[in-house]
Chain A
Amino acid sequence: MVSPLKTRSGTASATDATQHNTEAMSNTVTDLRPKPTLKAPAIDPTRPGRSADELADAPAKINVADVDFYYGAKQALFGIDLVVPERCVTAFIGPSGCGKSTLLRCMNRMNDMIDESSVKGSITLDGQDIYGPRVDVVELRKRVGMVFQKSNPFPKSIFDNIAYGPRVAGERNKARLYEITERCLRHSALWEEVKDRLDDSALALSGGQQQRLCIARALATEPQVLLMDEPASALDPASTSRIEDLIFELKDQYTIVIVTHNMQQAARVSDQTAFFFEGKLIEAGTTTDVFTNPTKKQTEDYITGRFG
């Protein structure tokens, strides 16, 4: 009695989403693509991701091999194997609590700060083990920047927030710092809103503005890899699409890993998608494959909205 109902509503919403998508596309895109057959999030043809061949050819920027992670006695990640190719966007998707943020934090060793946590397995950046005994964590974090799930601006002025990264890296020249601030704020679509009040407290910004500020702050250190934990969760459609444009611009220079709960977003911006469930990596592959031709039932159920 219950399960057929559930399935039906699930299918219905998936179809809705498909229709919505098709409409949205026929409005913006002139050429008529073959209608998406099965999956809710369609792949936008105007922004082609890297092809499967390109992905395979790209050198591995980060290589995660057989990683287990424990919060005390509680295991949060189980034998994760994943390659993050250089200059590509990798999306992590999966239901809440499945370990996406945990894996992301392993990649710049932010988990070191959690008492009694432990990592097994190896994660390499450009072939170097980041958990090796002689690794300089400060240097690692300069190369692997992070935007947190909850925005966390410093209780300082907007300018001081952005300039902090370059400053701790040794930049003293005020003019240069202003230049960086302007560039990063423009990149994160915040410049127009705050250009007249760079000296105001960052805590006086709205939630979405704070999120964009945190993105700008992470860009200011010019990392090689950018880890973004739901960078658009508090943004309106306009800022979201600006951030997605930014990710597109950045991926020519940077390697980007993005966690998102928004399937459309994952489909729009990423080249590679990894689906997690209960601490395990269920499936990873080119975004086109994962969304149009998932190999696992769980993946298919999740991206079509049947659970999670």
Chain B
Amino acid sequence: MSRNADIHSLEIKRSYLGSSLFGWLCAAATYICIAVLVGLLVTVLVNGVPWLSWTLLTSFPSRDPAKAGVLPALAGSLWLIGITALVSIPTGVGAAVYLEEYANSSWWRKLVQLNISNLAGVPSIVYGILGLGLFVRAMSLERSVIAGALTLTLVVLPIVILSTQEALRAVPSTIRQASYALGATRWQTVWLQVLPAALPGVMTGVILAIARALGEAAPLVAVGAVAFVAFVPQSLGDEFSALPLQIFNWAERPQEEFHGLASAAIVVLLAVLILLNTGAVLVRAKYGRRIKW
């Protein structure tokens, strides 16, 4: 009897040790990540904040660090993410709705699904080369805003599709059944019940995708975007720059001042990201209020 009791207490203690050890390891991993992140942010802020000024936001790039600014790059980035969002959200959400709500399960559907999942993992430079061949050369769009935005659309489309599918799958099938049982058509069910219920999840995916588009440099270099653009893009056919390209351009210069400018441009990029995220949180708060399963 007493031996049995010993073994029992020993077992409990061992598993407790193991689990608390695991907990500590996870906590360590978390704190390492946070430390790296905070370190990065602090470095960027320390280097960049002295260079943040109204001039930075309203000036064109220049050889003189005191006069240089990110205006064309910022405007180019906003153009890019705007058009990328306009093209990729309807297409991506549409494709996801088709795959989840309309397509019957068949080998064809499985093939398409497999391809989309794989495309999400393709390095963005590959899309850049595709964009160069397809949009810049074959469709002769040249090095235009539209060519860059369409290339970025290729990059983010799989992300939008996959995250939307995820959000649609999370909507309980009892909702669809209830809707059909009340005599709703498939279109009414998707548009009035499933999509609104999935909206918060869809928003999360869209924001991730847009953030990705905002940060991409490689595909833009491939389609021929340049850092030195002396004007703000006025139309879809204009040449453009983008914030990541501007940052890269400044960071690789020898002069210290430009490194500070690069950090300041990173702060601008982060600010745009935070604004986008705030927008998403607001939309989620507005539409997600009633949805708690």
Contact = CB atoms under 8 A, between A and B. Distances in A.
Interface of A: 108, 110, 113, 115, 138-139, 141-142, 145-146, 148, 150, 152-157, 164-165, 167-169, 201, 203, 214, 217-218, 221
B292 interface: yes
B181 A146 contact: yes
Contact of B183 (A115, A152, A168): A168
A217 B197 CA distance: 19
Interface size on B, as a range, is 20 to 34
B170 to A, nearest CB: 12
Given A115-B105, A154-B193, A168-B192, A110 B290 contact: no
B177 interface: yes
Interface of B: 105, 172-185, 188, 192-193, 196-197, 289-293
Contacts of B178: 148, 152-154, 214, 217
Given A115-B105, A154-B175, A203 B183 contact: no
A157 B181 contact: no
A150 B174 contact: yes
B188 A168 contact: yes
Given A152-B175, A155-B293, A221 B182 contact: yes
Contacts of B105: 115
A116 to B, nearest CB: 9
Give chain B's interface secondary structure class: helix
Contacts of A141: 180-183
Contacts of A203: 290, 292-293
B290 A221 contact: no
B185 A168 contact: yes
Contact of A113 (B175, B177, B192, B197): B177
A139 B183 contact: yes
Contacts of B289: 201
B197 A155 contact: yes
A307 B180 CA distance: 36
Contacts of A139: 183
Contacts of A148: 174, 177-178, 181
Contacts of B197: 155
Interface centre among B105, B192, B196, B197 (most CB of A within 10 A): B192
Contacts of B175: 152, 154-155
A172 B247 CA distance: 54
Nearest to B289: A201
Nearest to A223: B183
**The 6 residue pairs across chains A and B that have the minimum distance between CB atoms:** A142-B183, A152-B174, A165-B182, A168-B184, A155-B291, A146-B181
A152 B182 contact: no
Nearest to A139: B183
A143 to B, nearest CB: 8
A148 B290 CA distance: 22
Contacts of A142: 182-183
Contacts of B184: 138, 164, 168
Nearest to B185: A138
B118 to A, nearest CB: 25
Contacts of B180: 110, 113, 141
Nearest to A116: B105
A174 to B, nearest CB: 16
A148 to B, nearest CB: 7
Contacts of A108: 181
A157 to B, nearest CB: 7
Contact of A138 (B183, B193, B291, B292): B183
Question: Which of A110, A145, A148, A155 gathers the greatest number of chain B CB atoms within 10 Å?
Answer: A155
9 contacts: A108-B181, A110-B177, A113-B180, A150-B174, A168-B179, A169-B183, A201-B290, A217-B178, A218-B181
